[in-house]
Chain A
């Protein structure tokens, strides 16, 4: 199994498209950092106008912690798409190239094949999150320095002291990794259904975009279905920046994502074991 995993990882990291994702993450982070360097004050004035009418907020508001948060927020939709770029191609890509049949002639079960591709894609997505942490958090801290972090919610203004922030980021990145596991499972499932690598990637993107919109629309009908959408729970990382941290809600979201992940993985294994492999 370990050998198989090594081979899968070799396949993933040999493809140039794998590094496109790392490049895109770095580019987005860099663009936001540049924009905040040039016009961060105006941006903050706009965001804080509701509070600054009555309060005088002084100090190093524009700091690395805040910029990292803004980067994470803007990458909310993009990271799942980048994960799908690799995970969606895992099975369908092999089928497309005609190597899937060859792979299955080896003395390994189909379940093992799915599990190994799933694990390799998860390792890739975690690598992407670690890279995001480096370029979004550590690079921002390097450029903008440390300071107390302001978090603006729709109805709450939260101030977190600078010595109380780092563990929250650790929690947020860990949660984001869990959320990406769900995306990996969805992509692998869609990948098992088709013999064309592009299909599952586009389908994953479509599902994530549509469900993210539904998760954010303030309409009664969508409010009802919102708790059942995995995209609602994917932003659980933000809970770590609340005060007090809603551990119960974060736990519920983690369980929901876990259930989705496991369900989709089992569905993939069940389907792939019965699938008629023709290429």
Chain B
């Protein structure tokens, strides 16, 4: 191969990579504008907490959201358990805002469907998000899965399923996968009554574990102009 041909091939590769990056960036901004088109919503939710050290029944309530980051779960005098605020349940919180660098990471096939994989890096150093990797359904402009690496909250994996509200990029079901820290209180403080039928904790059960929170959204009311007062109410 002559020197000229080599340069030509290299040039073509660079141009192709540039075109891919531009396409990826375009795709990302299209998704972001769709996600951010939802200024607020109210939805009936059912929350299933599957965390080894937690025994929580199915929680039903009303979830209020107002962009950019206001969220409140109302449970008629009940207690609500959600992942920490900065690991919000809404896609808009896991999609970096402001200037970003988008990298096209190719495609992946899951359950017979091909998804485009984008890696998004915020340019703002102060952003809690370090990197978001997202699996995108290009045809419908929907994010099906995100893996978000944060400064303070580890990596959060979120899988999403859509139905009636896909035009707003609002999911019907979200599963948040979390890395859990160990939970332990001194027995002298809690004075536990020991269940003699309960198996001893195995080595696998000790230490950090993974957990999921599954949220099913029903009856969305989108962009109704929710007032800020809704988020200040106590339960």
Residues of A within 8 A of B (CB): 47, 50-51, 53-61, 73, 76, 145-148, 150, 152-162, 164, 216, 218, 227, 235-239, 242-243, 246, 248-249, 252
Contact = CB atoms under 8 A, between A and B. Distances in A.
Given A50-B184, A54-B83, A252-B196, A153 B190 contact: yes
Interface of B: 53-57, 72-73, 75, 77-85, 153, 178, 180-181, 183-198, 201, 234-235
Contact of A236 (B75, B193, B235): B193
A88 to B, nearest CB: 25
A154 B190 contact: yes
A150 B55 CA distance: 10
A195 B181 CA distance: 58
B71 to A, nearest CB: 9
B235 A59 contact: yes
A162 B78 contact: yes
B73, B78, B83, B153, most chain A CB atoms within 10 A: B78
Contacts of B193: 235-239, 242, 249
Nearest to B185: A154
Nearest to A247: B197
A158 B55 contact: yes
B46 to A, nearest CB: 13
Contacts, number: 128
B178 A54 contact: yes
A248 B53 contact: no
A154 B186 contact: yes
Specify the main secondary structure of chain A where it touches its partner: mixed
A61 B80 CA distance: 9
A159 B81 contact: yes
Contacts of A145: 77
26 contacts: A47-B185, A54-B181, A56-B81, A58-B80, A58-B235, A59-B77, A60-B77, A147-B77, A154-B189, A155-B201, A156-B53, A156-B55, A158-B56, A159-B55, A160-B57, A162-B77, A216-B187, A238-B191, A238-B192, A239-B193, A239-B195, A242-B193, A246-B196, A248-B197, A249-B193, A249-B194
Contacts of A236: 193
Nearest to B194: A249
Given A148-B75, A246-B198, 11 more contacts: A50-B185, A55-B82, A58-B72, A60-B79, A60-B234, A154-B184, A156-B55, A159-B79, A159-B81, A248-B196, A249-B193
B181 A249 contact: no
A235 B192 CA distance: 8
A241 to B, nearest CB: 9
Nearest to A50: B183
Contact of A58 (B55, B79, B181, B185): B79
Nearest to A157: B54
